[in-house]
Amino acid sequence: MKTNAATIESKTQGPLVRAIGLIPGILLLAVIGYAAKLIEQSINGYTKTHHIVFPNIEYVLWAIVIGLLIGNLVKLPAIFSAGVDTYEFWLKAGIVLLGSRFLVADIRKLGGISLLLVFVEIGGALLLMTALGKAFGLRPKLIHLLAIGSAVCGVSAIIAAKGAIDADDEDSSFAIAAILALGAISLVAFPLVGSALHLSDHAYGIWTGLAVDNTAEATAAGALFSDSAGKVAILTKTCRNALIGFVVLGYAIYWARKGQAGSVGNKAAFLWQKFPKFVLGFLLISLVVSMGVFDAGQIKSLANLSRWAFLLTFAGVGLKTNFRELSRQGFKPFAVGVLGEVLIAVLTLGLVIGTNRIWTL
């Protein structure tokens, strides 16, 4: 009886101890996020009071910058690691809660043309990255990881595909490093290009959602342009994320037939396993709000919770982007990633601009 009680106590303490271990890192994310918000408010207040013309730099960029400075200049104690790693959870929670700001009618406004562009981007990115990887002589599975990451949803897609095609840890680390480095670059490049070309919020949001791989970076790059562009970027990126299961399934079957990956049994079960569940949460919240279940005050509270979740996310993006580590991953995968991502960005930008001239997006 005592042994059973001890076993039960150990099992109940395990998750509790792990949860307590998350607190320091989550508090660090919150402090960075709050500091970013204070910097934004302070600069806006000062420039307004003194009638200084200065562009509004939102908390998104400040959170990432503070995170980058800390992550690259300071060696954080191990006690913060587990909590900082939760930034992906806060990203998914933020997207689910963001559903409160979308009515079903807003989702429908994305339109069939925009959804068609999502399919074109995925197919084009897969073909382009595969061709570039072969031209640079990369290993086949590394090529496919880079292709999947650039076509669908960055690091999440690479992690999902790694197990499905039995890729080596080294290949996945190369692919992840390339995608992360390019995600960091997109935070600066995309808003500048969008402003220089005078893109509308909607067109810019679609372009960002199509071309930026990681959901966190796509969310941030969209929000750096405008709140409206950020919403469209998330919606477009969410459509890409929803297709991860189908893309990974196709590659899993390909490698299984070559005898270099485990066989795929129940395809429906495989798709459900790989499908990003936060997409369903986003749609559910949007549906509930569209049905009038929440009043205006409750909707505002959900939207504010979403913004706080994104603050933790962006702080984590900065902290987890270590340029020294990225530089050690090798030249060829990075070269393929850079060249491929630049071409994808240019091609998708051309698609968005061209489509917008024919059909208003």
User: Please, which pLDDT band fits residue 12 given cuts at 50, 70 and 90?
Assistant: very low
Task: Indicate if the pLDDT at residue 122 is higher than 90.
Answer: yes
The percentage of residues in the chain with a pLDDT greater than 70, rounded to a whole number, is 91
User: Which tops the pLDDT comparison, 254 or 177?
Assistant: 254
pLDDT confidence tier of residue 147, bands split at 50, 70 and 90: very high
Q: What's the pTM?
A: 0.76
Nearest CA to 332 among 144, 132, 136, 169?
136
Residue 160 has pLDDT above 90, yes or no: no
Determine the pLDDT at residue 53. 64
pLDDT category at 55 given cuts 50, 70, 90 is low
Encoded tokens for 63: 């959170």
Of residues 348 and 173, the one with the higher pLDDT is: 348
**Res. 1 pLDDT band, cuts 50 70 90:** very low
Q: Where are the domains of the chain?
A: 23-358
Given a cut of 70, whether residue 10 has pLDDT beyond it is no
**pLDDT per residue as tens digits for the range 289-348:** 888 888 888 988 998 898 889 889 889 888 987 777 666 656 788 888 889 989 999 999
Nearby residues of 120 by Cβ (< 8 Å), 6 or more positions away: 351
Section 67-96 average pLDDT: 90
Q: At what angle do helices 227-241 and 215-225 cross, to 10 degrees?
A: 160
Measure the CA–CA gap between 278 and 91, rounded to whole angstroms: 10
Residue 139 buriedness (CB in 10 A; 0-12 / 13-18 / 19+): middle
For 327-343, b/e burial (b = at least 16 CB within 10 A) is: eebeebbbebbeebbeb
The pLDDT value given to residue 22? 93
**pLDDT at res. 353:** 93
Whether pLDDT at 8 is above 70: no
pLDDT of residue 158 exceeding 90? no
Tokens of 57: 């730099």
Locate 199 and state its tokens. 């893109």
Identify how many contiguous H helices and E strands the chain contains and give both numbers: 18, 0
| C-alpha distance from residue 10 to each of 17, 33, 124, 209, 287 (Å) | 10, 35, 51, 45, 41
pLDDT score for 63: 87
What was the pLDDT predicted at 329?
59
Higher-scoring residue by pLDDT: 156, 28:
28
Least confident residue range of 14-23, 85-94, 171-180: 171-180
Given a cut of 90, is residue 144 above it in pLDDT? yes
Q: State the pLDDT confidence band at 265, using cuts at 50, 70 and 90.
A: confident
pLDDT tens-place string over residues 19-39: 889 999 999 999 999 999 899
* Mean pLDDT score across all residues of the chain: 85
Q: For residues 331 and 83, is the Cβ–Cβ distance under 8 A?
A: no
Least confident of 37-46, 70-79, 210-219, 330-339: 330-339
Distances from the Cα of 151 to the Cα of 93, 240, 254, 300, angstroms: 23, 8, 17, 34
Residue 244 clears pLDDT 50, i.e. is over it = yes
